[in-house]
Structure 1
Amino acid sequence: GARWEEAAQAYRRAVQADGESRAARLGLGRARLRGGDVAGAEAAFREAITALPRDPGAQSGLGVALDHQGRHAEAQAAYRAALELDPSHEGARTNLALSLTLSGQGAEAVRMLEGVARAPQATPRQRHNLALAYAAAGDAPRAAEMMAPELGENSREAAAAWRLALAGP
């Protein structure tokens, strides 16, 4: 709450002092997002894109703000713009896959994440994101397989719970 508002005010002052500062521009958007001001975060990231049009982080941040508002198609366009600027931007790729999962396009998310999340150097977060995409695509056995290293015996129950959660009310 208040802590993030203080951070946002500090970043706003930094932006006013130096409008070209990437750290200040992206920090302002992130602070607004963490403080729960998604409309303010969207505005901050749009301003960042105007000031730093070649910055994939600004596009990816905008996507997160849009996803938080349930505007998944717009969010996905922002993530794709970030990936056009930097095809190796892992945050934009992960966020795009999660957005696709949330909007019922789990199979596309699986295709996007599978190579990275099944690699030997994959992080637990990458494996979890793929498990979520599998669950969204209706593939509970593969979701359980991806979660097994961390969850052990409980992976099947967790995959079923994710599937129910993604199906909505």
Structure 2
Amino acid sequence: MPEFAPLRLSATLLCLTLTACASQSTAPLGDHDRLMALAEQVRRGGDPASAAALYERAVQQGDDSPDLLRALGETRLAAGDAAGAAEAFRDLLRQDDEDPQALLGLGTAELQLGRFDRAVRTLEQAAPALGTAQAYNRLGTAQVLAGRFGDAQAAYGTAIDQAPGDLDIRSNLALALALNDQADEAQRAIAAVARSPLAEPHHLRQQMLVLTLIGDEAGAAQALAGLPEQDRLALLAEARSIRQLDDPAARARAIGLLTGAR
């Protein structure tokens, strides 16, 4: 494992450190338990990069426990460090190569790194072991980006069985159907999402994408009717450029870049 850079405390983290020192003046500065408690406090406070630096210090102190490696991997993912997260999850899998949470984390990191086929293989192990909507949704997303649309539909279907009210998963299924040239099924799936009182603006953008992919440009424009004209025209132009790509897998990857793969 490479040497870690010296720990740089953010202003928020420095305040927390001073507070911890004041309230626990009898604890030594390098106390491992205090370090872990502080890392968790910073993590919950919404500063994953600083929390990851604290977890890294704990690893440097010789702690390679599964809980710490899992927290380090998840925090690095939250901080946008997919490569670092993959390293932490691999270290965890060296201790237990069937750990389902580590497999989910590694598959997610591989997905974010654009290693779609590897992400599929890893998530195919994680999803059945966990049996959660999150895991199957992540698997479906990896399969879409790898161009395996039929497999993705099955994964999204299992995710929906676990979380029938999750509109993000239902939107993902509609996109998989559209990419697989199943226009009628895609239109029905995304219409149900858009009709929901819980639909949010990003669901309507996905409706626009689905309708553009299946050739319903009038419907796609109507889906964005509430946006300023300049924004609406820009999104429609981007969607049309995606539809014109010859390779369905390339379309899927372009959509992932446009919407953010979940």
Task: Give the TM-score taking structure 1 as reference length.
Answer: 0.81
Cα drift, residue 157 of structure 1 = 7.1
- In the alignment, is the contact (CA less than 8 A) between 1:55 and 1:82 conserved in 2? yes
- What residue in structure 1 maps to residue 105 of structure 2? 27
Equivalent residue in structure 2 for 1:58, among 135, 150, 153: 135
The amino acid across from 2:119 in the alignment is: A
Task: Give the structure 1 partner of residue 206 of structure 2.
Answer: 129
Task: Give percent identity, aligned residues only.
Answer: 33
For the structure 1 residues 112 and 50, does the alpha-carbon distance in structure 2 shift closer, same or farther, using more than 3 Å as the test? closer
Letter in 2 for 1:117: A
More helix by share: 1
> 2:127 aligned to 49, 56, 67, which one?
49
> Partners of 2:154 and 2:176 in 1: how far apart?
10
AA aligned to 1:28 is: L
Alignment of 1:142-153 (within 5 A): 142-152=219-229
Which consecutive residues of structure 1, in runs of 5 or more, have no partner in the other structure? Answer: none
8 Å contact from structure 1 (residues 136, 166) kept in 2: yes
Q: Which residue of structure 2 aligns with residue 87 of structure 1?
A: 164
Aligned residues: 166
TM-score, L = length of structure 2: 0.55
1:138–1:163: 8 Å Cα contact kept in structure 2? no
For residues 166 and 126 of structure 1, the distance between their equivalents in structure 2, rounded to whole angstroms, comes to 19
> 2: distance between equivalents of 1:121 and 1:7?
33
Determine if contact 1:107/1:133 at 8 Å carries over to the other structure: no
Question: In the aligned structure 2, how far is the partner of 1:167 from the partner of 1:106?
Answer: 16
- In the alignment, which of 49, 64, 82 is matched to residue 4 of structure 1? 82
Instruction: Indicate the residue corresponding to 1:71 in structure 2.
Output: 148
Q: Which has the higher contact order (CA 8 A, sep 6+)?
A: 1
* Deviation beyond 4 Å, 4+ runs, structure 1: 15-21
Partner Cα distance (2:103, 2:230) in 1: 45
- How far does residue 138 in structure 1 lie from its aligned partner after superposition? 2.1
